[in-house]
């Protein structure tokens, strides 16, 4: 009887040890699952590919297509858009607007997509790298390339309401998303405003004169958080005088642009 008692005690100890080992194993598995889930990013927006909490930053491209591009401009535009898209940081939203012949039908972006990332630097343990690369190519790069390629073909427009379009870009994209990070607006245009609001083909008005009008107050925008990059199309060199540039410098200053940079598109 005493031997059986010792055997029973030994079995009890073994059961206790196995139980403790089992509990530790379950805890380790649970901790591993929690770690794995913690390493997985929240799912992206299925339409825009933006982070669940919204875009980290925002870049907007407004393309003035009221005059056709010449061959050199087409090549330079192609290089510009590829550079912007390829250098867009992960999680940033890229919006494309066009100013063409049908102004009232072009108040919304042609496309808005976030860079979802290529999977570079991610772990195979927590990410499907191949799926991420495919998402980047087919869901981000290819749609943007399609849209920007289509922008190269256009017919001359009857009007060029640049100021009106800048307001719509601000309202329908910049203000609509309110990205917490950097916001950059690229304006690819000759800036030759031609609409009932203002006609720059007749004469270059003084900005103070324009700013005092009801139209200016109606079309005013606040670009206080926006870095503005104007890429000037040299379509009307005769009219694009120092006074012309002074008007636009004053316009963006009045709009409280965070910064303003002006360069020319080759061609």
Do 221 and 247 fall into the same domain? yes
The domain total for the chain is 2
**Do 84 and 59 touch, CB atoms closer than 8 A?**
yes
pLDDT in the model for residue 112:
96
How far apart are the C-alpha atoms of 214 and 111, rounded to whole Å? Answer: 32
Do the domain assignments include residue 48?
no
68 domain residue, yes or no:
yes
Q: Are 266 and 73 in contact (CB under 8 A)?
A: yes
Determine, yes or no, domain membership for 50: no
What pLDDT is stored for residue 35 in this prediction? 39
User: Which pLDDT value is given to residue 11?
Assistant: 63
pLDDT of residue 125: 46
Sheet holding 226-232, edge to edge: 111-114, 92-99, 57-64, 183-189, 226-232, 259-264
Please check whether residue 72 lies inside any domain of the structure: yes
List CB contacts of 149: < 8 A, sequence separation 6 or more: 78
pLDDT score recorded for residue 34: 40
Contacts of residue 154, defined as CB under 8 A and 6 or more positions apart, other chains included, come to 65, 66, 67, 68, 69, 100, 101
* Residue 6 belongs to some domain of the structure: yes
Per the CB < 8 A criterion, the answer to whether 231 and 199 are in contact is no
Give pLDDT < 50 ranges for the chain. 1, 27, 29-39, 123, 125-126
- Tell whether 22 and 128 lie within a shared domain: no
Q: Are residues 33 and 62 in the same domain?
A: no
Q: What is the pLDDT of residue 130?
A: 83
Tell whether 95 is covered by a domain: yes
Residue 32's domain comprises 1-39
pLDDT digits (tens, 9 = 90+) for 32-84: 444 333 445 568 898 999 998 999 999 999 999 988 899 999 999 999 999 99
Residues 31 and 112 in one domain: no
Model pTM score: 0.81
pLDDT of residue 87: 95
């Amino acid at each position: 009887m005493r031997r059986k008692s010792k055997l029973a005690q030994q079995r009890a100890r073994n059961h206790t040890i196995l139980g403790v080992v089992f509990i530790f194993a379950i805890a380790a598995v649970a901790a591993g699952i929690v770690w794995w889930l913690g390493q997985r990013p929240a799912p992206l927006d299925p339409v825009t590919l933006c982070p669940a909490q919204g875009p980290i930053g925002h870049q907007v491209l407004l393309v003035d297509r009221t005059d056709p591009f010449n061959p050199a401009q087409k090549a330079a535009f192609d290089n510009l858009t590829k550079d912007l898209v390829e250098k867009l940081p992960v999680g940033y939203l890229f919006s494309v607007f066009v100013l063409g012949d049908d102004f009232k039908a072009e108040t919304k972006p042609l496309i808005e997509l976030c860079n979802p990332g290529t999977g570079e630097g991610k772990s195979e343990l927590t990410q499907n790298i191949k799926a991420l690369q495919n998402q980047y190519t087919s869901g981000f790069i290819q749609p943007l390339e399609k849209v920007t390629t289509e922008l190269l073909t256009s017919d001359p427009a009857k009007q060029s309401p640049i100021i009106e379009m800048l307001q719509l870009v601000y309202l329908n994209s910049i203000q609509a998303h309110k990205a917490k990070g950097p916001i950059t607006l690229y304006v690819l245009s000759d800036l030759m405003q031609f609409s009932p609001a203002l006609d720059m083909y007749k004469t270059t008005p003084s900005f103070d004169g324009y700013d005092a009008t009801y139209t200016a107050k109606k079309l005013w925008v606040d670009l206080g958080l926006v870095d503005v990059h104007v890429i000037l199309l040299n379509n009307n060199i005769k009219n694009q005088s120092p006074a012309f540039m002074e008007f636009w410098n004053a316009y963006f200053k009045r709009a409280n642009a965070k910064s303003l940079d002006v360069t020319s598109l080759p061609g």
